[in-house]
Amino acid sequence: MRLSYRLLIYALFVAMFFAPWLLWISDPNLVRRLVYPIKGKLAAWSTTCSPNTPSWLEELTSQMAEAHDSPANQVAVSLASGKIFSCSNGWESTPYISHRVTDETPMRLASLSKIVSFVGMTGMDKESRGHWLDSFLIDSLLVSALEDERVGRIRIRNLLNHSAGFDRHRTQDPITQFNASSWCPHDLRNLGKIRLDYTPATRFGYHNLDYCLAEAAYDQYFSRTLWDHLVNDLEVRKYGLEWLSDRDTPVTQNLMHEGLTGYGEVFLDAIDWEAARAPMGLTGNARGLARFIVRNKGALSIAKSMRDDSISCNDEVVGSCFDGFLNRLKVRDQVLWQQRGYLYGMSAVFILDENDNFIIWLGSGEGRPWSAGVNKVRKTFVENVAGTAPN
């Protein structure tokens, strides 16, 4: 009996140490999901905020870690009065061992990069901007032979408000192909060989090609690169903004919902970052991005002014209507504009109201469903800020 008891103790001892190891070997993401509630709670407890930050913003930042599978977060809100408040939480990697995430920590912006690109591509005087937005894409890129004659109708404004004829739900996005170079911007002759998903200026269809092609056209039209303009004229580095290919985030992305172990990191290593620059290729921090937008807030008015009522859309459906880079969305009795971001293990959103209050969330995870985190940010923003006039 004593021997049997000892054998049982030994078996339990071995199982205690080897069962988790075997589980990790077979499905590490399952283990990550099982232990995440502890990591999320620790991240929530680590939340710090700028002075006088309203309590709802601190609570929201904590909830993004605890309830939405994002172990590191930055949230910034800019009020129409000019005040900016911000919170952050989490660690770059292992809690209490790695560096804490602060307001200054670089994080991936994903498609929030389009905000910065739009500011750069519309920041000239009104007359020059009008000529640029109404110019034809093929005139800048000098493409003449077209298999689809509708390509010749694409204007720059169509690219910037996602009405150019490309729809990522219908055709492959070459910007995010795995281990492949995108034809934009490397071989723009392919523009003459493609077929559009719809006729330009007849509907909206979100696609990363829009901003890649707009950047390529900008470089040719103005005989200087967009990045040169952003760095030297708009001084983006003062706001913590940088190309991801030159400075990635030190924050580990939460990949526990990915189907394959490490898939997100492998995919990021294989993305053509030269092609991805304008659509989704920046790093920065939420507070710095907020300061950059406030400094260049005229671009928000420019985006809103690009509303094209000749295109039928339903502004009660997310992703249906676009004014410039902004997805126009009616929520309750208010009109909001937003830009969402996603990049394999991270989520982000920018939301603007009619009074130019806005909120930015940069997260290092993606919950299930993916839209839940974005919806939480939007709901909190509407309940606490949206519609508030400056005072």
Rounded-to-10 torsion of CA 89, 95, 99, 103: 0
Q: What does the pLDDT read at residue 255?
A: 78
Q: What Å distances lie between residue 163 and 179, 263, 306, CA to CA? A: 28, 32, 11
Look at residue 27 in the predicted model and tell me its pLDDT. Answer: 64
Determine contact, residues 319/206, Cβ cutoff 8 Å. yes
The helix/strand/coil state of 53 is coil
Q: Edge to edge, what strands does the sheet with 358-363 contain?
A: 48-49, 84-89, 73-78, 358-363, 347-352, 334-342, 326-331, 321-323
- Stretch (H or E) spanning 145: none
Q: Can you list the positions of beta strands (E) in the chain?
A: 48-49, 73-78, 84-89, 107-108, 242-243, 282-284, 321-323, 326-331, 334-342, 347-352, 358-363
CA 61, chain centre distance (Å): 17
Integer Cα distance of 383 and 307 in angstroms: 26
pLDDT of 388 reads 73
- Please tell me the pTM assigned to this model: 0.91
* Domain spans in the chain, listed from the N-terminal domain onward: 5-111+235-384, 119-221
Cβ atoms of 257 and 366 closer than 8 Å? yes
Contacts (Cβ under 8 Å, ≥6 apart) of 154: 136, 137, 138, 164, 165, 200
> Cα-Cα-Cα-Cα dihedral of 181, 106, 346, 218, to 10°?
-40
Say what the pLDDT of residue 332 is: 83
Residues 6+ apart with CB under 8 A from 58: 47, 49, 87
**What is the token pair recorded at 66?**
């605890």
pLDDT of residue 273: 86
Report the SS3 class of residue 155.
strand
pLDDT at 345: 82
Which portions of the chain are predicted below pLDDT 70? 1-31, 259-268, 389-391
Question: What is the tens place of the pLDDT at every residue in 20-63?
Answer: 555 555 566 666 777 788 899 999 999 999 999 999 999 999 99
Contacts of 72 (CB under 8 A, 6+ apart): 43, 65, 88, 89, 90, 91, 92, 101, 105, 107, 251, 363, 364, 365
Q: Do residues 240 and 285 make contact, with C-beta atoms less than 8 angstroms apart?
A: yes
pLDDT at 171: 86
Q: Which amino acid is at 30?
A: L
Across-strand partners of 330?
Answer: 335
| pLDDT tens digits for range 346-357 | 899 999 999 999
Interatomic CA distance for residues 213 and 217, integer angstroms: 6
CATH of region 5-111+235-384:
3.40.710
**What does the block give as tokens for 376?**
């939480």
Q: ∠ at Cα 390 (389, 391), nearest 5°?
A: 115
Contact indicator for 359, 381 with CB cutoff of 8 Å: yes
Distance (Å, whole) CA 272 – CA 281: 10
Residue 257's pLDDT is what? 76
